[in-house]
Structure 1
Amino acid sequence: MWPFSKKVSLAQSGLLQGLTDCHSHLLPGVDDGVQTLAESLDILSLMERQGIRKLWLTPHIMEDYPNRPADLRVKFAELKAAYQGPIELQLAAEHMLDHLFEERLAADDVLSLEEGKRFLLVETSYFNPPMDLENMLQRIQSKGYYPLLAHPERYGYMDKKYYRQLWSMDIDFQLNLPSLMGGYGKEVQQKAQWLLNNGWYALCGSD
């Protein structure tokens, strides 16, 4: 269960003290997340009060947002220059497993998340997997990356059997913290709790 009530704020709970947040969309103006630098700085200030120690910025790279790593690095440098707070900022990306990803992976034009392992944060549609999901994940591994599946609890097509299959393939999972609070509904919350109880989450993030 979530270890504090609605009457206790995140900052008061101390739950996020020293946390590394491995999934966020705070790089301004590059996807469907934060749009302005001022908004990014405001949210970073809030994260400071919550005790976040390190934040990975993971903008979308997908056919709808075909961001180039080189362009994202420029935007990231601008944010780092503007932010003067204590949170350590790092850049990676959330890669949609689509045709664009296949092209970028072949060219090694991706942004990895270096947090104990050389992770590559990936996602799929919430409703249907790619036709060759397992093969795509194996191709990522063949390139020397560890596939880190973003918010597996949110995929409607995944169940316990599916999670076990991916786990047997050495696929790592990333928890969305709002899932444990019921932020995406009861079913997602139950899946997240089951995965957490099994110890199958490698990293977590606010998304």
Structure 2
Amino acid sequence: MWPFNRKYSITSSGILERFTDWHCHLLPGVDDGVQTMEEALQILASYEQFRVKEVWLTPHIMEDIPNSTAMLRTRYAELKSAYKGPIILRLASENMLDNLFEERLAQGDLLPLGKEGKHLLVETSYFNPPYGLQNILLRIKSKGYVPVLAHPERYVYMELKDYEQLKRLNVAFQLNLPSLVGAYGADAKRKAKWLLENMYYQFKGTDTHSLSSWEAIAHKKQIPKDVMRMF
């Protein structure tokens, strides 16, 4: 392949060196992500090979997976005790914007993202926005948090005008790296490239759910050279 047509994988690109993974499901046995401690440790060992610096564990909290913050903190302590490597592990959550989230927000029972605890990683259905999405985001802001929209490129109902509107509300955006290699289809890849080109993303993550899914996407050479220049 000619040099100007060269494509990179997530692992060969150098993206992961000193990388902070702001979104993954490595906390074992709490959601649809990693199920065992052994698997979590295997993924972290793989991350070490590519010099990942820090990992934010962001298990789901939603009506269908009503994880309590107390239980998640316990599981987090167990993983930290079991993992002896150099990667810094931190705990937050990925919050579905549903009725349970509204209750937790009112109670202040949340696991925010970032060392200062000022950001909340949030998501919606891939196909439809929650009723009153803008008002929910404004309520989050009224509590002193910055909403961080997880993988905006994956939402079928969102187009460029929707991203522009969210940006005007000072909503932060989190890229899923697998989007760049087409893991979620051509449309998500197209949107991810546009959002990256236009500097919408403040956070980047792998959204890793299992060792097999990580290995399946980590070495796919589908990131064009022009996209690499945006990192």
Same fold (TM over 0.5): yes
Partners in 2 of 1:156 and 1:115 — Cα distance?
31
Per-residue CA deviations over 1:163-198 (Å, capped at 9, x if unaligned) read 000000000000000001111111100100000011
The within-5 A match list for 1:16-35 is: 16-35=16-35
| Residue identity (%) | 58
Q: 1:132 to 1:9 in 2, by over 3 A?
A: closer
Which segments of structure 1 move beyond 3 Å, counting only runs of 4 or more?
3-6
Call closer, same or farther: CA 1:102–1:58 in 2, change over 3 Å: same
Query: What one-letter code is carried by the residue in structure 1 that aligns with 2:13?
Result: S
Q: Map 1:70-149 to 2 at 5 A.
A: 70-115=70-115, 118-149=118-149
Report the alpha carbon displacement of residue 50 of structure 1 after superposing the two structures with TM.
1.5
Residue 5 of structure 1: aligned partner: 7
2:206 and 2:139 map into 1 onto residues whose CA distance is 28
Distance, in Å, in 1 between the alignment partners of 2:10 and 2:21 is 18
Structure 1's 29 and 202: CA in aligned 2 closer, same or farther, altered over 3 A?
A: same
What CA distance in whole angstroms lies between the structure 1 residues aligned with 2:151 and 2:176? 5
| Larger RCO: 1 or 2 (CA < 8 Å, sep 6+) | 2
Q: Check conservation: 1:4, 1:13, Cα contact below 8 A.
A: no
The separation in 2 between residues aligned to 1:4 and 1:151, in whole angstroms, is: 26
Which residue identity lines up with residue 69 of structure 1 in the other structure? Answer: T
SS of corresponding position for 2:7? coil
- 2: CA distance, partners of 1:188 / 1:73: 33
The TM-score, its normalising length taken from structure 1, stands at 0.95
SS in 1 for 2:31: coil
Give, as a single letter, the amino acid of the residue that structure 2 aligns with 1:65: I
* Aligned pairs, number: 203
Matching residue's letter, 1:206: T
Q: Which residue of 2 aligns with 1:196?
A: 196
Query: Residues of 1 paired with 2:6 and 2:55: CA distance?
Result: 23
Contact 2:27 2:59 (8 Å CA) reproduced: yes
Gapped regions of structure 1 (runs ≥ 5): none
Which letter maps to 1:182? Answer: G
Aligned-partner Cα distance in 2 for 1:135–1:85: 42
Measured in 1, the distance between the counterparts of 2:115 and 2:134 equals 23
SS in 2 for 1:148: strand
Indicate the SS of the match to 2:70.
helix
Give, in angstroms, the shift of residue 88 of structure 1: 0.2
Letter matched to residue 197 of structure 2: N
Partner of 1:47: 47
Give 1:14 deviation, angstroms: 2.2
Contact conserved, 2:56 with 2:91, CA < 8 A, in 1?
yes
Q: Over residues 125-163 of structure 1, what are the superposed CA-to-partner deviations in whole Å (9 max), with x where a residue is unaligned?
A: 000000110000000000010000000000000000000
TM-score normalised by structure 2 residue count:
0.85
Aligned pair 1:156/2:156, yes or no? yes
Secondary structure of the 1:157 match is coil
Q: Deviations over 1:25-47 (max 9, x none)?
A: 00000000000000000000001
Amino acid at match of 1:154: R
Q: Is the 8 A contact 1:117 1:146 kept in 2?
A: no
Query: What SS does the aligned partner of 1:191 have?
Result: helix
Aligned to 1:67: 67
The unaligned stretches of length 5 or more in structure 2 are 208-231
